[in-house]
Amino acid sequence: MKKWLSLLMGIMVFAMTLNGCSKQAEPEADQPAAEDTKTGGEEETASPEELTSITIGYAALDESQEHLIPVGDNIEKVAKEMSEELGIEIKVIRVDNAGDGAKAVENVDNLLLQGIDVLAEFNLDSAVNDTIWEKCQEAGVPVMAIDIPVGDAPFMGANNYDSGWKCGDALADLVNENWDGQIDAVFFEHTPEAGEVVQIRMDSIWDGLAEKTDYTVDELKAMTTTVSMGDDAILAQQLCADFLTANPDKHHIVIGSINDIGAQGAFAAAQAAGREDDVFIVNHGVSVSTRENIYQQINSGERNCWRGGVSYFLERYGEYIVPGCIELAKGNTPDADSLLMDHIFIDADNIEEWYPQAEWAQ
């Protein structure tokens, strides 16, 4: 009898244990299950305290171009500052793509071998950027694209439409103030190998012009000549000289350049041809040569035909790139709007505010 009582009590205790486990596994009615406590789409993130080091591989577009060197310098500066602020090591490995797609692919292979945690890719040859993206995907290394898209990577850099529109807007003001709104021809100095996205910053010049003149975008397109100057100031000068020679009867020519290299070439061509009164030049970017030209105008008291540029603030790119790379290394996707640069047209009227003469004029 005692054996049966002992067996019965054991069964009752076992049943009570099972019942208790079952209740413990079920959430209360007003308590969500553990896996449901996250907001949809929210990512697991590591706090800065959990990171001990981050290695950023920065592949520069072309360090032989003076106006691009500040990008890498600022990345290194901001990385050092944020390293001290966050208490973690942020290392930057800097390589030069030298404007060459094959070199860019080679650089990525080497950076991956060195164990980078994130790649900041600035590569002019968009044709190889899918290859770069695929290599990084296979290696599990996130990518930040700078100015030119790389696969599905977050994009840091220009607001291409806005920057182009502001170039066109500045040219329209010059046309209206000096030529009673007349335009005889449009001439673009470009580097089309940068791809479709960068093309937007040239195409939207038409929109900025059309906004303030009596010309439609289609009419402006019909009078536009675009040349590929390959980031070569001598070639840019020759191409513009050829255009001016072929169009001696045109005296109201607006020139837009993808950068200050093309603007330098166009300016030199206009000077050599004695056609400065026939053209106005505005370029993308406000690099050292653009600043020097603007301050030369201010100091001499005379305006020339190369009036200014739309600033991309390349010397501040690191302020956007480094925080974004840290987010990527933590497994997060940076907010897209936080990676787009604000653009301002800079000329003799406002350059002192952005690039004080004591720092930049030579």
Each residue's pLDDT tens digit, 140-158: 999 999 999 999 999 999 8
Q: How far apart are CA 320 and CA 105, in angstroms?
A: 24
Q: How far apart are CA 255 and CA 279, in angstroms?
A: 7
Residue 360: the pLDDT is: 55
Q: How far apart are CA 139 and CA 76, in angstroms?
A: 24
- Determine phi and psi for 244, rounding to 5 degrees: -65, -40
Q: 27 Cβ partners below 8 Å, 6+ apart?
A: 33, 34
Model pTM above 0.85: no
Q: What is the pLDDT along the chain (362 residues), one digit of tens a residue?
A: 333 334 334 434 334 443 443 333 333 333 333 333 333 334 444 454 477 899 999 999 999 988 899 999 999 999 999 999 999 999 999 999 999 999 999 999 999 999 999 999 999 888 999 999 999 999 999 999 999 999 999 999 989 999 999 999 999 999 999 999 999 999 999 988 778 888 999 999 999 999 999 999 999 999 999 999 988 999 999 999 999 999 999 999 999 999 999 999 999 999 999 999 999 999 999 988 999 999 999 999 999 999 999 999 999 999 999 999 999 999 999 999 889 988 999 999 999 999 998 775 44
Which of these, 78, 43, 201, 55, lies nearest to 141 by C-alpha position? 55
Fold of 160-311+340-360: Rossmann fold (3.40.50)
Sequence ranges of the domains in the chain? 49-156, 160-311+340-360
Within the chain, residue ranges assigned H as helices are 2-25, 69-86, 101-113, 129-139, 160-179, 196-212, 217-222, 233-246, 260-273, 288-300, 318-329, 351-354, 357-360
Residue 161: the pLDDT is: 94
Which of these, 303, 337, 338, 308, lies nearest to 323 by C-alpha position? 338
Give the amino acid at 287. Answer: S
Which of these, 344, 287, 342, 351, lies nearest to 169 by C-alpha position? 344
Give the amino acid at 90. Answer: I
- As a whole number of angstroms, the longest Cα–Cα distance in the chain is 123
Q: Which two tokens stand for residue 124?
A: 């002019």
Residue 34: the pLDDT is: 36
Q: How far apart are CA 274 and CA 241, in angstroms?
A: 11
In terms of C-beta density within 10 A (0-12 exposed, 13-18 middle, 19 or more buried), how is residue 244 classed?
A: buried
DSSP letter at 281 equals E
Residue 210: the pLDDT is: 98
- What average pLDDT does the chain have? 87
In three-state form (DSSP H/G/I as H, E/B as E, the rest C), the secondary structure along 200-263 is HHHHHHHHHHHHHCCCCHHHHHHCEEEEECCCCHHHHHHHHHHHHHHCCCCCCEEEEECCHHHH
Q: Which two tokens stand for residue 361?
A: 């004029």
Residue 175 burial (CB count, 10 A): 20
Segment 165-194, tens digit of pLDDT:
999 999 999 999 999 999 999 999 998 877
CA dihedral 56, 57, 59, 64 (to 10 degrees): 80
Q: How far apart are CA 326 and CA 79, in angstroms?
A: 10
User: Would the CA dihedral through 105, 111, 115, 120 be positive or negative?
Assistant: negative
- Determine phi and psi for 70, rounding to 5 degrees: -60, -25
Question: CATH assignment of 49-156?
Answer: 3.40.50.2300
Q: In what order do the strands lie in the sheet with 185-190?
A: 224-228, 185-190, 253-257, 279-284, 306-311, 344-346
Do domains 49-156 and 160-311+340-360 share one topology? The answer is yes
